[in-house]
Structure 1
Amino acid sequence: MRQTRRTTMERQTTMTRRLATRHEAMRGTALLNFIMVALLVVTIVFIGILYYLADASLVQQLGDTASHSVEFIGLALDTRLIYVLTAFALIVLLLLLARQQRTINVRLQGNQSQMLETEEQNRRNQEAILRLLDEMGDLAEGDLTVQASVTEDITGAIADSINYAIEALRDLVSTINKTSVSIAAAAQETRMVTEQLAAASENQANQIDNSSKTVLQMANSMDDVSRKMASSAEVAEKSVSIAHEGAQRVRRTIQGMDVIREHIQETSKRIKRLGESSQEIGDIVALINDIADQTNILALNAAIQASAAGEAGRGFAVVADEIQRLAERSGSATKRIETLVKTIQADTNEAVISMEKSTSEVVNGAGLAEKAGEALQEIESVSARLAELISSISGAAAQVTDMTSKVSTAMISINEITGQTSQSTVITAASVAKLDQLAQELRQSVAGFRLPDQADSLI
């Protein structure tokens, strides 16, 4: 805090020195301007003297010279004009320097007032900072009841932030105090955990006793299961023999069914061929119909030609020739139809024979299926007996499974309880040590702070 005060005073002193240096620099500038003005005045006086002397010399020369030439008079006028212009320029420069001097004087007066205001502002800021540091003196000693004064000067925002930080620190210390209460509650929970550990140990002993009884019951049940399994083995052997015979008969049935399937496939092929032949027959019939139509037309044309030709029988001859050709085509088509009809008949006969064979095979298959049914009936009877035995075995197995599950569950519970007991013991020891350490740290951390509630109790 003392270091802060020293730093603040050093900054204010530095600022005052900078203002004084600037003021001195402006004074030096004003003095330099005054010297320049004096030099200008001296220069103007010197030029005036020279002008006077030059004018006297010119007058004397004019008096001595008899010619009074025009060139000499012009030279004298030019010399005077130069002197006048030089004097005018010097006067203008003098006026500019006077104006600049006036501006510098005004700035000097403004800087003096600004420096006074700055010094006054620095003094007020220094007083505000010292006041804030004095108010915060108790805070460094752990007193959280202090409250910084929030003013309109430079330290107002700082004081507001400090008050906010003090309030947060109060909340933190209060939270730490509440945590101490929570630690006490945690110690109580630790005692409860210890009691639960004792109860768990007792429960573990009881479950171990129950597990031993369950194991004995499971052994008795396993003996009963072994006896029933022996009877099941004999029945299973007979079932295997009967099932083997039934499998053979079923295999024969399957073979017969395969033969039937082959014949049916062959029959379907031949029927397909019959369908294709029928399609060709349809095409040929359509062709015959076409030929018949054309024949009728040609016959009509021939009749017309015959009635109208007279000697022009040549046209009729052509028509007759065409009719003959159509007749030949019709005959050829008729032969093809006959051939196809024969083929269809042959295929039909073969299909009939094949279907008869299929029927015979189906009859044989039915016999085999009947025998297979008898074998299956025997298998069903044996399976019924097996089902009864298996049901009994299943019941016993279910009991064994249930007992085994109980044993497994009991063992798992024993292991879990044992693990929980061990873990709880370790956690309890660590928790007690940590609680002790935290209690000490908390007491040490909040021992140096004083809250508003504590200040009221002291009052």
Structure 2
Amino acid sequence: MNIVNQFATGNFAIRYEKNSQVRGDFEKFKNALDNSGICVSDAINGIKVEVETVQAVMEETNASSMEVSRTTSMLAQNSSSVSRLAERSSNSITQVLSAMDDLSKTVGAVATNAEEASAKAMKTVELTEKGLKLAGQAENGMNGIMVSFEDTGNNIIDINNQMEEIGKIVGIITGISEQTGLLALNAAIEAARAGEAGMGFAVVADEVKSLALESQKSAENIATIIGNLQKKSQVVSDSMTESFKEVKTGNEAVGETLRVFNDIVTAINVIYEHLAEGASASEEQAASVEEITASVNEIENLVQQTAKEAVDSAAATEELTASIDQISQAISEATSAVQRITSEMEHFTVT
């Protein structure tokens, strides 16, 4: 009776004393109780190991998510820097166009204006090269984000595999509970046959049956929790897939930005060469001014396109940040569920 009461409180480490003198059906019942305690202890120990593994994976996943969040923040800053540099480049190009207009009106000041425009063009080259460097950093950041997303996706797959293993163990516990219930039913039948002499044994059998039902109910609760965790993991996995698509799109946009910046540098270098030639040969100023003006207009269009792409990249980064926040929340909820399972397992005493 004491062993049954201990089982009911979650203590499955208790056993009958080896020198206990019982015979017949009582000996079978004693062995059945001892075996039940051993089986349940083994199952609970297995669950504890799997839960600890799941918790470790969740912590690693959470760390990866935080790293992704930090990288995304850096990417947003880089996108803003690219936008500001594109705006500054546009202003500089506007000044160059104004200088070209003055140059066409005043042939006598061709050399002076050409030198001024040349200096401004050189400054624009420096600014554009700086923007090119920042865009390269943004591309590296995007690549890092994609790698982190892949790692996080692999961790989620590991979590789902661990949950499946826990589900198998829960099935074992359910089977043990059902077997214990059958043993209790058989014991009750034998007690009924014994009449008044088996009354006490019938009470014990009833307690064992109740314990089996409680164990089965606990196993069902654990299965429900695992099911909820699997659903949340699926939500996280879906969010990761969508976020990965957004990151890939942003990475392509950054790559396009790099190509545009290279075009800008090339075009501005062409302008600089034309301005230098204009400063040394005033007779060729008129033709040179027209050619330079056309090139600057083309550059201005490229700069405006670069600014637009930088804004689009910033918007994509904001969406990515929102997706990462959802992922972090889902991971936090899954971690809380694992902690609740761990807390429930602490109520059991096993061998």
Q: TM-score, normalising length from structure 1?
A: 0.30
Whichever of the two has the greater Rg, that structure is 1
Greater relative contact order structure (CA < 8 Å, 6+ sep): 2
